[in-house]
Amino acid sequence: MPNDPGPTARALRALEILRTRPTTTADELAVRLGVTERAARRYVGILKEAGIPVESARGPHGGYRLGRGTRLPPVHFTQAEALGLVMAALGGRPAVADADDLVGTALGKVVKALPESVGRQAALLREYAAAAPDPLAAHPDPAVTSSLVEAVAHRRRVRLAYRSEAGHAWEEEADPWSLVVRHGRWYLLCHSHRADAVRTYRVDRIGEVRSTGHGFDAPVDFDPVAVLEENLGTGWEFATRVVFDVPPAEVAPWIRPPMGRLEPLGDGCVLLGSTRNPDMYAQEWLAGVPFAFRIEGGKELRAAAAALAERFTAAVTDHDAAGHDR
């Protein structure tokens, strides 16, 4: 499809939008096509004239949708969409440049199937762009991920086989609310019946997923990313308590959700949370906060901060040629 599509190309694009969105209003269709609402209705008319059953529904939740049994033509990409697909793949999974990578193989098939006018730049980008591997990224088993997606979509409770970072293994039942990708890692946000609490589990550490046949009701209007971020700061082995003498409004922009919960305390505030890695908490998180603070707990975080302070003090101490302090 050229970069400045004509009526036929836009009609095909409208068909693709209707295929991916069960109900689309004329206004939404116009925005996606980059045309007026009147033009969007005209493209729907072209589809109907071509024998494609596009149904119209009135009312506040109305719009256009494809009729049952619609047979669709091949998917069409603009050059910008093709480049965006390759860039997203390289950014999320650097190994797609390798011919034997699962996603790389699939991406290669897509790029080869594109017309020359559209796919040439995407092929060059894939061949000559390089991406550094992310040491924190982890790629879960596609079969496990597929089972979880199915359970999330149909609100079905599952039984998980899980292994923690420390090597502890267990099975439990969980209500899967959502899958969230954060910094190259996939997380399952769920209600754990074992803990009777909200839990986040790394999907790459889930070994097996089995449906229990039971349904569940998920929270209404919740933000999966926000809930995940908040939950990542609770339930860890080492408690943390950090006091600031400045108001919460000034400290809040420097606090990441996994660091814990910020609460008012007198004229200042207190950060309450937990961590599995006190050294990282002190070196990467607390050290970046540009306000004075006191670590009142726990002892592991205090020890980590003391060790960090000792290292920095030694780094700026003057030494003579023999290595003695001056």
Closest residue by Cα to residue 121 from 64, 179, 173, 79: 79
Task: Assign 15 a pLDDT band (cuts: 50, 70, 90).
Answer: confident
Give the angle subtended at the CA of 298 by the CAs of 297 and 304, to the nearest 5°.
105
Mean pLDDT value of segment 286-307: 95
pLDDT at 97: 64
Mean pLDDT value of segment 295-306: 95
Question: Would the pTM count as exceeding 0.75?
Answer: no
What are the b/e assignments for 22-32, b being 16+ CB within 10 Å? Answer: eebbbebbbeb
At 163-183, the pLDDT tens digits run 987 788 999 999 999 999 887
pLDDT at 326: 59
Helix 79-92 vs helix 102-113: angle between axes, to the nearest 10 degrees? 170
- Average pLDDT across the chain, whole number: 85
Residue 196 above 70 pLDDT? Answer: yes
pLDDT at 1: 41
Structure tokens at 314: 């030694």
Q: State the Cα–Cα distance between residues 66 and 287, nearest whole angstrom.
A: 55
Least confident range from 23-27, 35-39, 240-244: namely: 23-27
At 255-265, the pLDDT tens digits run 988 898 899 99
At 269-285, the pLDDT tens digits run 999 999 989 999 999 99
- The sign of the dihedral angle between the CA atoms of 224, 226, 232, 234 is negative
pLDDT at 271: 96
In the beta sheet, which residues pair with residue 242? 271, 295
Residue 321 above 70 pLDDT? Answer: no
- Pairing label, strands 206-215, 197-202: unpaired
Q: Tokens 């046949």 map to which residue? A: 213
- The sign of the dihedral angle between the CA atoms of 209, 227, 277, 95 is positive
Contact by Cβ (8 Å): 67, 15: no
At 126-154, the pLDDT tens digits run 787 777 777 767 788 889 999 999 999 99
Residue 9 has, within 13 A of its CA and on its CB side, a CA count of 11
